Chain A
Amino acid sequence: MAGKDAIIEIEHLSKVFGTTLALNDINLSIKKGEFVTLLGPSGCGKTTLLRHIAGFIKVEEGRILMEGKDISEVPPFRRELNTVFQRYALFPQLDVYDNIAFGLKLKKLPEKEINKRVKKMLKMVSMTGYEGRDVNSLSGGQQQRVAIARALVNYPKVLLLDEPLAALDLKMRKDMQIELKEIHKKLGITFIYVTHDQEEALTLSDTIVVMKDGRILQTGSPIDIYNEPKNAFVADFIGDSNIYDAVMIEDRRVSFCGHEFECVDEGFGNNAPAEVVIRPEDIYVLPNPAAGQFTGVVRSCTFKGVHYEMFVDTPEGYEVMIQDYNAFEVGSEIGMLIKPQDIQVMHVSRVENIFKGEMVDSNHVDMIGGVFECPQTGFERGQKVTVRVPYDKVDLMDNVEDGTVCANIDFLLYKGNHYAIHVLTEDGYSARVSTNDVWDKNDMVGIKILPGDMTIEKAEEND
């Protein structure tokens, strides 16, 4: 993957904090001059990755190359890159000029050169005339500009930005986004930008790297990521979307929401389980129900500025989110149409939970950190087994004591007629659940599985 024009290459980078895997075998190549965004929810490892590149975290596993040279062991002050910090980190004892000149003075550049460069940078961030100001007297936006100037004045080859706009209000953030983009175009250096704001990522980046739980889920241009998300998480995280369970009937034919649709995807095999993503603006609404591929009744319609956002219930019991320039009356029946190229079909690797366990006695199995009652198996104590449980057969209990194992709701996704939930147990095991009950992220639940819903097999010897 190492290209000639790559400036930063990350190879098999992993990092463990205590018991959590903050980075899990990260491989990434960043091209010279690219504006790359590391995007993901908090705790996904994006900042940890950036801090590795900056050198603030010691590389323990894997390596980082800059222009082909291994910089894993190079201390941060010898790396040819600079960082814009989330909370700016301007030195309070120095004024604006001395803050920006800090790096140049350390390099012992002649006073005249320093003066020239600082003036130039102040002009670029529209802060001319602020040289003598105390940094504490500046507004958040102005401090951010000084922080950017302080980093860029050193002419770094790579600029790292750690959620630099997170502390600004919306209007200021939009303005700064445009300015950052212009600065990037003007200087032509590589920007590596960390954010949890998907809109910001779509606006700014040449390449977006979507991260979750210390892994890279997808790397691609904003258009690719938006139009062809690799999985339900990426689809849900980037923009609004309708996500449904689906069955790929054959090449170019997919079934979801109780209807069959033509699509452009091939190679899934026949009757293969899948998921589909349809962006709310890609669904065409027709006033005549008979003219559409499927029908529904408008439940709500909200004006959102440019478009109307509608929620439509289909007779089959699915919810569809639609964005359209025209409003349709609540309660009216409409027809809906989806073009084949607007249906993004995604692979589903599994359709049921597969847990590894060990028999405690012939009808009790120890798995995911608890002992569950199971059907009579005739297996002996200590026998390693594989337990299969369908997603909809895992019960989540409000009262943690009612379950066999205590878990935390990690991620949830509405799939039109049910929720797909990912839970993490106290011991770090994960399980997937399909349910109609409404839960919130981070709710504590008890996991209960009825003995009749388990399928138990002897585990393979080499497992």
Chain B
Amino acid sequence: MTKRSTLAAPYQIFLVLFVVLPLVLILIYAFMDGNGGFTFSNFATFAGQPEAIKTFVYSIEVAVITTVLCLLLGYPAAYIMSNSQLNRSSITVILFILPMWINMLVRTLATVALFDFVRIPLGEGALIFGMVYNFLPFMIYPIYNILKKMDQSYIEAAQDLGASPRQVFFKVIIPLSMPGISSGVLMVFMPTISTFAIAELLTMNNIKLFGTTIQENINNGMWNYGAALALIMLVIIGITTVFADSSSNREEDAGGPI
């Protein structure tokens, strides 16, 4: 017994140092004033700043739009890739996954260069494009996984019971791929809400996202306020995780790494 648990020790130390401790520090800093006393003033400041709240709401909007677009583009892509009748080679799969091998910043810088080249002004459109481009594979992969593993006999059973191809898709394939969808939504929504590099690069720093606000505050030494903002964001992400979890609980083998 003791031998086995000592094997886990390095991981436990790692988790404590790099996951638990930072979280605790964020929590403590968020409720601390400049002199180290307990306070709610950081949250009050946030509530009192329409600008900050606007950024916050805007960030959620961008994240939601990105997630919806990724889902609308990613689901058909995953469906086509998983369907051996439509796609006979695994090359398509590799092509979709390939961009993930390249660093996100490099990809975004390339996007900026591309937009420059074709003379499309950077701004909100470019921001959404960049976000979707960067996070699309995270939507496709879990959905692809679950569609690939789906038992063909469910589809046959539905056809057998009188479902047209359309009805098979909406009444069987979509409901059965829900675990993949929620996992994909989570994997896109979570990083998009906190991203700041893409926004900075693709809007020439003209559009601010919540991630940018946090980064600026912490860069400027406003540790306590920054920690409070980070905490608010964590709560939002936490809520979406709980929602996604409850919808994917029905199927044990959800297709994603979450």
Interface positions of A (Cβ within 8 A of B):
54-56, 75-78, 82-83, 85-87, 89-93, 102-103, 106-107, 150-151, 154
Min CB–CB distance B163 → chain A (angstroms): 6
CB <8 Å contact, A87 and B162: no
- Contacts A82-B161, A83-B160; is A89 near B153 (CB within 8 Å)? yes
Question: In the complex, which residues of chain B have a beta carbon less than 8 angstroms from the beta carbon of A102?
Answer: 158, 161, 163, 171
Majority secondary structure, A binding face? loop
Give the docked Cα–Cα distance between A403 and B66 (Å).
66
Give the docked Cα–Cα distance between A86 and B157 (Å).
11
Question: In the complex, which residues of chain A have a beta carbon less than 8 angstroms from the beta carbon of B172?
Answer: 91
CB <8 Å contact, A76 and B157: no
User: Could you mark each residue 154-180 of chain B with 1 if its beta carbon is under 8 Å from any beta carbon of chain A, else 0?
Assistant: 101111111110010001100110100
Give the docked Cα–Cα distance between A43 and B213 (Å).
66
For A81, give the chain B residue with the smallest CB separation.
B160
Min CB–CB distance A98 → chain B (angstroms): 10
Min CB–CB distance A53 → chain B (angstroms): 11
CB <8 Å contact, B162 and A107: yes
Min CB–CB distance B160 → chain A (angstroms): 5
For A147, give the chain B residue with the smallest CB separation.
B157
CB <8 Å contact, A85 and B164: no
Interface positions of B (Cβ within 8 A of A):
151, 153-154, 156-164, 167, 171-172, 175-176, 178, 250-251
CB <8 Å contact, A154 and B153: no
Partner of B160 from the list A76, A87, A91 (CB cut-off 8 Å) is A76
CB <8 Å contact, B250 and A83: no
Partner of A93 from the list B153, B157, B167, B250 (CB cut-off 8 Å) is B250
For A156, give the chain B residue with the smallest CB separation.
B160
CB <8 Å contact, B161 and A93: no
Give the docked Cα–Cα distance between A284 and B132 (Å).
83
CB <8 Å contact, A77 and B163: yes
For B174, give the chain A residue with the smallest CB separation.
A93
CB <8 Å contact, B161 and A154: yes
The residue in B156, B164, B178, B251 that gathers the most chain A C-beta atoms within 10 A of its C-beta is B156
Min CB–CB distance A96 → chain B (angstroms): 15
Question: In the complex, which residues of chain B have a beta carbon less than 8 angstroms from the beta carbon of A92?
Answer: 176, 250-251
CB <8 Å contact, A106 and B251: no
Min CB–CB distance B65 → chain A (angstroms): 28
Min CB–CB distance A328 → chain B (angstroms): 51
CB <8 Å contact, A106 and B163: yes
CB <8 Å contact, B156 and A103: no
Partner of A77 from the list B151, B159, B251 (CB cut-off 8 Å) is B159
CB <8 Å contact, B162 and A154: yes
- Contacts A93-B176, A106-B167; is A77 near B160 (CB within 8 Å)? yes
Question: In the complex, which residues of chain B have a beta carbon less than 8 angstroms from the beta carbon of A150?
Answer: 161
Question: In the complex, which residues of chain A have a beta carbon less than 8 angstroms from the beta carbon of B153?
Answer: 85-87, 89
Question: In the complex, which residues of chain B have a beta carbon less than 8 angstroms from the beta carbon of A78?
Answer: 162
Question: In the complex, which residues of chain B have a beta carbon less than 8 angstroms from the beta carbon of A151?
Answer: 160-161
Give the docked Cα–Cα distance between A56 and B161 (Å).
12
CB <8 Å contact, B151 and A103: no
Question: In the complex, which residues of chain A have a beta carbon less than 8 angstroms from the beta carbon of B164?
Answer: 77
Give the docked Cα–Cα distance between A56 and B176 (Å).
20
CB <8 Å contact, A83 and B175: no
Give the docked Cα–Cα distance between A82 and B160 (Å).
6
Partner of A89 from the list B157, B171, B175, B250 (CB cut-off 8 Å) is B157
Min CB–CB distance A233 → chain B (angstroms): 30
Q: Which 9 A-B pairs have CB atoms at the shortest separation, nearest pair first? A: A103-B161, A89-B153, A89-B157, A76-B159, A93-B175, A83-B160, A106-B162, A77-B159, A77-B162
- Contacts A92-B250, A93-B175, A93-B176; is A75 near B157 (CB within 8 Å)? no
Question: In the complex, which residues of chain A have a beta carbon less than 8 angstroms from the beta carbon of B151?
Answer: 87, 89
CB <8 Å contact, B167 and A91: no
Between A and B, 29 residue pairs with Cβ closer than 8 Å are A54-B156, A55-B159, A75-B159, A76-B156, A77-B161, A77-B164, A78-B162, A83-B156, A83-B157, A85-B156, A85-B157, A86-B153, A89-B151, A91-B157, A91-B158, A92-B250, A92-B251, A93-B176, A93-B250, A102-B158, A102-B163, A103-B161, A106-B167, A106-B171, A107-B162, A150-B161, A151-B160, A154-B161, A154-B162
CB <8 Å contact, A54 and B157: no
CB <8 Å contact, A56 and B175: no
Extra contacts besides A85-B157, A93-B250 (6): CB < 8 Å: A89-B153, A91-B172, A93-B175, A102-B171, A106-B167, A106-B171
Min CB–CB distance A55 → chain B (angstroms): 8
For B155, give the chain A residue with the smallest CB separation.
A89
Min CB–CB distance A194 → chain B (angstroms): 14
CB <8 Å contact, A56 and B156: yes
Question: In the complex, which residues of chain B have a beta carbon less than 8 angstroms from the beta carbon of A55?
Answer: 159
Question: In the complex, which residues of chain A have a beta carbon less than 8 angstroms from the beta carbon of B158?
Answer: 91, 102
Min CB–CB distance B200 → chain A (angstroms): 42
Min CB–CB distance B27 → chain A (angstroms): 39
